């Protein structure tokens, strides 16, 4: 036979992916079928495929392929996200390498470079998804910054502004001095950092001889003292009572500031005395508002000190920190320092330490928008899977804060606000509209210019499930009417608020309907030590290499086997190996069947029994698998499939059916096997699209008509199944297993044929399975008996006793010991059953069926003990 012994995935993968594309199987257009829609969470254009994408997109592909086979109009919309800050940072870095500074470019020039970069690298990740087998409708590929989608973003901004949701205001924002932009709270990562707590002396003015001339504050940020506008003490703190109403001098610059009192100050912390720096600390800002303090901002946008600082102007904030400490020390104002660790925020994108900064930003009022979005989830219209995330979601939505939507970047949708020379402003889509608005308000249009800031990327991705169908601009168009709301969203829990919540908000705002019915939240892919996979740790395998090594099907299976819904996934390449082995198993099952010669001979009893059983077993497994899918337990659905194929089909069915070496197989059995094989190919297709398609087209299954492909074959329907058949077959399996076990224990070669006698007191018709038992256990001369034949060893299956003739291999002493042990065990078991049954309270309180069950257990055990005792006596 020329078919290789192992499955070689490479060839099949490229061939079939190209073929599917050519046949247009991924394409979806509205028709009268039921739609099944998934919008892909658009990966960043800066991204390359990592394990997280791999998991995420494999799950989506499984869902979409299954739906497609179920006859739904399956539409999976792919695309990418422009990722404002990440991309801008990449482009800035690239330009820097070329010796170009962003500062020297105009906005237009910069954007030209950025688009160039996007065209060159922005598609990489989508190509990588093809390798994964992703069956997206590529004709629908979208990019969040393409003209139509940008238009949708601008329209939405204007719409929300007109409805009063968007406003401008000075707020303390999270400032990223490296990216030079404000960030939303969600884009700030907090980490525990080891710092130094500096104890700094402030001279007190108007002190008399009884009071010391200074007081001491503790701070981690001495470089901000030049921005201090007060010292605050707790009114209940007797230590500082005598400072009330006095003023202090800021060290080094000797600016006079008031000493104020507020219970906000923690008397336990530091010295119980706080410096107040409203421009550079959120809490201080609020304190400053309350006490009407001056706000002095001493930092430039890039984190260097400005002229307000008076000293160290132009110095970076961290250098300034050290410099100030030194100056203080030299001036004798640094009392002491001590190590201190506290939480510091860092930019998710640039990893720069966040600087709280007061600035004019655009905000979106969230409270009213959030309420309906919360309701969808609470009333179950949008299901979060697993549902433990409902709590997290609710907590966030109930405590939602206004959303900073402006970003001081160029790469993104520019906010449609216009200013005149007077710095008055209007919101309008075009300059002309803006002019008319100014005119209508009798304001000048002189010096008209557009807002420099762009919108937060999540503002555009929040529209994604609508904008990919052009649903905000043309709310009645055929696509959006047909595909919206979509069915399932598969994404990571860490963007539940960033993204999922905002999509629900926008979806409700525009269409009065949530954008999807189910949100499947995948876990984080970690290495086997439980560390999150990341580039910097270098602990993530390259998905492309994995696919080269184990085959795409193998890796898909590997990912899914290790990923129960919503739990983090401890990834190990061993799972991919298991996936590859599974593909190989299927390949070899195929080789077996393919090698058979077919003849017009009657089927054997074993073949008929096997076919009958497998038919029922398949339907039973289908019911399990369908249920797993219904509950989004994809990993369980896969495992059920795995066991059906490997254990039931390969280990039992094929072994029962396969003819002796070089013997032909009966046509009836052959046809039945092919039928089962086809069903299995269909069943595994969503998980393993390539091998299933490859085998589907083999001549074994006859000629395939054009377009007769596994990818569009009818998904198997689980028919009815008879438990009786399954229970009977399980008995047969037990018998076979006992005999094999016995062989193993006695070191008897599987090649030796052993005669078998059965005392079938239960009335089970074992003769019906005689052929099957002979084939599977290599026994012969199966006959019924009521006596234990000599020279045999025995075992029980249920209440039926089996005697295997092992001739000289009977070790009477060992037999006695084995049976004695078994009797002992049964006696112990019986005792515990009897204990229950003689407990009046049990008999009274327990359900009748449970009591009856115990009585059955008792009877069973007694019968078995009787048989074994007789057996023992006869030895």
Partner RNA sequence: GGGAGCUUAGCUCAGCUGGUUCAGAGCACCUGCCUUACAAGCAGGGGGUCACUGGUUCGAACCCAGUAGCUCCCA
Pick the closer one to RNA by CB: 592 or 725.
592
Helices (H), 484-521: 502-511
Q: How far is the CB of 352 from RNA (least distance, A)?
A: 18
Site for RNA in 76-95 (CB under 7 A): none
* Contact call for residue 98 and RNA (CB under 7 A): no
* Contact call for residue 194 and RNA (CB under 7 A): no
- Tell me which stretch binds RNA (CB under 7 A): 2-10, 402-410, 608-616, 805-813: 2-10
DSSP characters for 367-412? Answer: HHHHHHHHHHHHTTSSEEESTTHHHHHHHHHHT---EE-EES-SSS
Pick the closer one to RNA by CB: 130 or 572.
572
Q: How far is the CB of 132 from RNA (least distance, A)?
A: 19
* Contact call for residue 583 and RNA (CB under 7 A): yes
* Contact call for residue 752 and RNA (CB under 7 A): no
Site for RNA in 619-638 (CB under 7 A): 636
Pick the closer one to RNA by CB: 95 or 640.
640
Q: Residue 825: helix, strand or coil by DSSP?
A: helix
Alpha carbon separation from 216 to 192, 208, 220, 526 (Å, rounded)? 25, 17, 13, 47
Torsion, Cα of 458, 462, 464, 466 (10° steps)? -160
Alpha carbon separation from 476 to 461, 470, 510 (Å, rounded)? 21, 10, 12
Q: Which residues are paired to 570 by β-bridges?
A: 526
Does residue 861 contact residue 854 with C-beta atoms inside 8 Å? no
* Contact call for residue 343 and RNA (CB under 7 A): yes
* Contact call for residue 799 and RNA (CB under 7 A): no
* Contact call for residue 325 and RNA (CB under 7 A): no
Contacts of 679 (CB under 8 A, 6+ apart): 618, 716
Q: Which helix (H) or strand (E) holds 337?
A: strand 334-347
* Contact call for residue 845 and RNA (CB under 7 A): yes
Does residue 753 contact residue 743 with C-beta atoms inside 8 Å? no
Pick the closer one to RNA by CB: 468 or 557.
557
Pick the closer one to RNA by CB: 37 or 641.
641
* Contact call for residue 561 and RNA (CB under 7 A): yes
Spatial distance between the Cα atoms of 277 and 295, rounded to a whole number of angstroms: 8
Spatial distance between the Cα atoms of 418 and 452, rounded to a whole number of angstroms: 9
Give the residue carrying structure tokens 């009063």.
164
Q: How far is the CB of 391 from RNA (least distance, A)?
A: 4
- Tell me which stretch binds RNA (CB under 7 A): 11-19, 106-114, 168-176, 852-860: 852-860
Q: How far is the CB of 654 from RNA (least distance, A)?
A: 4
Contacts of 102 (CB under 8 A, 6+ apart): 92, 95, 110
Considering only 295, 495, 570, 598, the residue that binds RNA (CB under 7 A) is 570
Q: How far is the CB of 162 from RNA (least distance, A)?
A: 29
Considering only 254, 341, 422, 567, the residue that binds RNA (CB under 7 A) is 567
* Contact call for residue 818 and RNA (CB under 7 A): no
Q: What is the 3-state secondary structure (H, E, C) of 97-144?
A: HCCCCHHHCCHHHHHHHHHHHHHHHCCHHHHHHHHCCCCCCHHHCEEC
Site for RNA in 658-717 (CB under 7 A): 658, 661
- Tell me which stretch binds RNA (CB under 7 A): 305-313, 436-444, 683-691, 854-862: 854-862
Q: For 517, what's the count of Cα atoms within 13 Å in the CB-facing half-sphere?
A: 11
Q: Residue 21: helix, strand or coil by DSSP?
A: helix
**Site size toward RNA, by CB under 7 A:** 74
Q: How far is the CB of 459 from RNA (least distance, A)?
A: 18
Pick the closer one to RNA by CB: 34 or 647.
647
Pick the closer one to RNA by CB: 315 or 553.
553
How large is the angle between the packed helices 573-594 and 667-684, nearest 10 degrees? 150
Pick the closer one to RNA by CB: 400 or 417.
400
- Omega of the bond leading into 766 within 30 degrees of 0 (cis): no
Helices (H), 697-811: 723-746, 770-777
- Tell me which stretch binds RNA (CB under 7 A): 32-40, 65-73, 589-597, 696-704: 589-597
Q: Sign of dihedral through CA atoms 824, 829, 831, 832? A: positive
Pick the closer one to RNA by CB: 337 or 863.
863
Give the residue carrying structure tokens 């030209």.
112
* Contact call for residue 140 and RNA (CB under 7 A): no
Of the candidates 634, 644, 640, 635, which has an alpha carbon nearest to the alpha carbon of residue 585?
644
Considering only 266, 368, 494, 817, the residue that binds RNA (CB under 7 A) is 494
Pick the closer one to RNA by CB: 274 or 426.
274
* Contact call for residue 55 and RNA (CB under 7 A): no
Site for RNA in 372-431 (CB under 7 A): 388, 391-392, 395-396, 399, 401
* Contact call for residue 2 and RNA (CB under 7 A): no
Pick the closer one to RNA by CB: 102 or 591.
591
* Contact call for residue 200 and RNA (CB under 7 A): no
Torsion, Cα of 741, 743, 744, 749 (10° steps)? -140
- Tell me which stretch binds RNA (CB under 7 A): 367-375, 462-470, 564-572, 866-874: 564-572
Q: How far is the CB of 736 from RNA (least distance, A)?
A: 7
* Contact call for residue 564 and RNA (CB under 7 A): yes
Q: How far is the CB of 750 from RNA (least distance, A)?
A: 5
Considering only 186, 228, 509, 774, the residue that binds RNA (CB under 7 A) is 186
- Stretch 428-467: interaction string toward RNA, x if CB under 7 A: ----------------------------------------
Pick the closer one to RNA by CB: 508 or 526.
526
- Stretch 524-543: interaction string toward RNA, x if CB under 7 A: ----x-x-------------
- Tell me which stretch binds RNA (CB under 7 A): 93-101, 185-193, 196-204, 721-729: 185-193
- Tell me which stretch binds RNA (CB under 7 A): 13-21, 450-458, 461-469, 585-593: 585-593
Q: How far is the CB of 613 from RNA (least distance, A)?
A: 16
Q: How far is CA 332 from the centre of its chain?
A: 56
Q: How far is the CB of 348 from RNA (least distance, A)?
A: 11
Site for RNA in 731-750 (CB under 7 A): 736-737, 740-741, 743-745, 747, 750
Burial 264-299 (b: 16+ CB within 10 A, else e): ebebeebbbbbbbbbbbbeebbebbeebebebbbbb
Contacts of 667 (CB under 8 A, 6+ apart): 598, 599, 600, 601
Let me know the angle formed at the C-alpha of 9 by 3 and 13, rounded to the nearest 5 degrees.
125
Give the residue carrying structure tokens 């008995």.
731
Pick the closer one to RNA by CB: 6 or 762.
6
Q: Give the burial class of 210: count Cβ atoms within 10 A of its Cβ; 0-12 exposed, 13-18 middle, 19 or more buried.
A: exposed
- Stretch 636-665: interaction string toward RNA, x if CB under 7 A: x--x--xx--xx--xx--xx--x--x----
* Contact call for residue 592 and RNA (CB under 7 A): yes
Pick the closer one to RNA by CB: 4 or 147.
4
Strand order in the sheet with 449-450: 425-427, 417-419, 449-450
Spatial distance between the Cα atoms of 607 and 657, rounded to a whole number of angstroms: 5
Spatial distance between the Cα atoms of 437 and 432, rounded to a whole number of angstroms: 9
Q: Which helix (H) or strand (E) holds 561?
A: helix 552-561
Considering only 574, 727, 730, 807, the residue that binds RNA (CB under 7 A) is 574
* Contact call for residue 866 and RNA (CB under 7 A): no
């Amino acid at each position: 036979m020329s078919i290789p012994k192992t499955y070689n995935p490479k060839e099949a993968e490229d061939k079939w992916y190209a073929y599917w594309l050519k046949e247009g199987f991924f394409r979806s257009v509205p028709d009268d079928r039921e739609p099944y829609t998934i919008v892909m969470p658009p990966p960043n254009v800066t991204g390359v495929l990592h394990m997280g994408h791999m998991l995420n997109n494999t799950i989506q592909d499984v869902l979409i392929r299954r739906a497609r086979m179920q006859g739904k109009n399956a539409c999976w919309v792919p695309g990418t996200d422009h990722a404002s800050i990440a991309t801008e940072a990449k482009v800035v870095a690239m330009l820097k390498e070329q010796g170009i500074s962003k500062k020297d470019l105009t906005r237009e020039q910069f954007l030209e470079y950025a688009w160039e970069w996007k065209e060159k690298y922005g598609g990489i990740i989508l190509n990588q998804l093809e390798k994964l087998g992703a069956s997206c409708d590529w004709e629908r590929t979208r990019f969040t910054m393409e003209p139509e989608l940008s238009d949708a973003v601008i329209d939405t901004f204007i719409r929300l502004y007109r409805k009063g949701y968007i406003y401008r205001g000075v707020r303390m924002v999270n400032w990223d001095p490296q990216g030079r932009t404000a960030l939303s709270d969600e884009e700030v990562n907090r980490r525990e950092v080891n710092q130094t707590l500096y104890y700094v002396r402030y001279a007190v003015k108007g002190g008399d001889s009884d009071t010391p001339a200074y007081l001491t504050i503790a701070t981690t940020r001495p470089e901000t003292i030049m921005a201090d506008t007060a010292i605050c003490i707790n009114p209940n703190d007797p230590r500082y009572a005598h400072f009330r109403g006095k003023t202090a001098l800021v060290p080094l610059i000797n600016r006079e500031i008031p000493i104020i009192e507020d219970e906000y100050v923690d008397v336990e912390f530091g010295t119980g005395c706080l410096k107040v720096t409203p421009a550079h600390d959120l809490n201080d800002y609020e304190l400053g508002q309350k006490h009407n303090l001056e706000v002095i901002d001493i930092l430039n946008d890039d984190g260097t000190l400005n002229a307000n600082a008076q000293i160290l102007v132009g110095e970076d904030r961290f250098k300034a920190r050290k410099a100030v400490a030194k100056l203080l020390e030299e001036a004798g104002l640094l009392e002491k320092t001590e190590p201190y660790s506290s939480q510091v925020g860092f930019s998710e994108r640039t990893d720069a330490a966040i600087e709280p900064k007061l600035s004019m930003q655009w905000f979106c009022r969230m409270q009213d928008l959030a309420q309906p979005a919360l309701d969808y989830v609470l009333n179950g219209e949008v299901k979060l899977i697993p549902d433990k995330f409902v709590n997290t979601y609710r907590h966030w939505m109930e405590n939602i804060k206004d959303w900073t939507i402006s970003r001081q970047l160029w790469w993104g949708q520019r906010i449609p606000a216009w200013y005149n020379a007077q710095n008055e402003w209007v919101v309008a889509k075009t300059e002309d509209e803006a002019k008319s608005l100014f005119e209508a308000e009798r304001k000048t249009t002189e010096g008209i210019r557009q807002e420099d800031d762009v919108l937060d990327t999540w503002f555009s991705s929040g529209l994604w499930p609508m904008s990919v169908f052009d649903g905000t601009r043309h709310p009645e168009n055929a696509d959006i009417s047909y595909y919206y709301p979509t069915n399932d969203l598969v994404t990571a829990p860490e963007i539940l608020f960033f993204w999922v919540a905002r999509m629900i908000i926008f979806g409700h705002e525009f269409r009065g309907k949530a954008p999807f019915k189910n949100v499947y939240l995948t876990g984080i892919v970690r290495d086997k030590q439980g560390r999150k996979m990341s580039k910097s740790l270098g602990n993530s395998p390259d998905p492309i290499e994995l696919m080269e090594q184990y085959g795409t099907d193998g890796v898909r299976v590997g990912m899914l086997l290790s990923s129960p819904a919503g739990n983090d996934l401890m990834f190990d390449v061993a799972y991919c190996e298991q996936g590859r082995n599974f593909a190989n198993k299927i390949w070899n099952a195929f080789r077996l069947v393919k090698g058979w010669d077919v003849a017009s001979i009657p089927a054997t009893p074993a073949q008929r029994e096997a076919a009958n059983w497998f038919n029922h077993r398949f339907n039973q497994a289908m019911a399990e698998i369908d249920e797993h899918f219904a509950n989004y337990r994809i990993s369980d659905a896969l495992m059920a499939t795995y066991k059906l194929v490997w254990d039931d089909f390969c280990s039992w069915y094929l072994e029962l059916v396969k003819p002796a070496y070089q013997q032909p197989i009966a046509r009836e059995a052959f046809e039945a096997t092919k039928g089962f094989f086809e069903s299995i190919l269909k069943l595994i297709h969503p998980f393993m699209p390539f091998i299933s398609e490859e085998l589907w087209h083999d001549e074994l299954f006859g000629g395939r008509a054009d377009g007769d492909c596994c990818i569009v074959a009818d998904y198997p329907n689980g028919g009815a199944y008879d438990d009786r058949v399954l229970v009977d077959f399980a008995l047969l399996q037990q018998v076979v297993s006992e005999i094999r076990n016995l062989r193993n224990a006695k070191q008897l070669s599987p090649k030796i044929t052993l005669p078998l006698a059965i005392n079938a007191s239960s009335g089970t018709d074992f003769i019906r399975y005689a052929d099957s038992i002979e084939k599977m256990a290599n026994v012969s001369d199966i006959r019924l008996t009521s006596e234990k034949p000599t020279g045999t060893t025995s075992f029980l299956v249920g209440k039926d006793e089996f005697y295997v003739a092992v001739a000289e291999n009977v070790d009477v002493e060992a037999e006695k010991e084995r049976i004695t042990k078994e009797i002992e065990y049964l006696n112990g078991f019986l005792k515990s059953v009897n204990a229950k049954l003689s407990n009046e309270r049990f008999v009274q309180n327990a359900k009748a069926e449970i009591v009856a069950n115990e009585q059955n257990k008792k009877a069973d055990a007694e019968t078995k003990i009787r048989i074994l005792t007789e057996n023992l006596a006869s030895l």
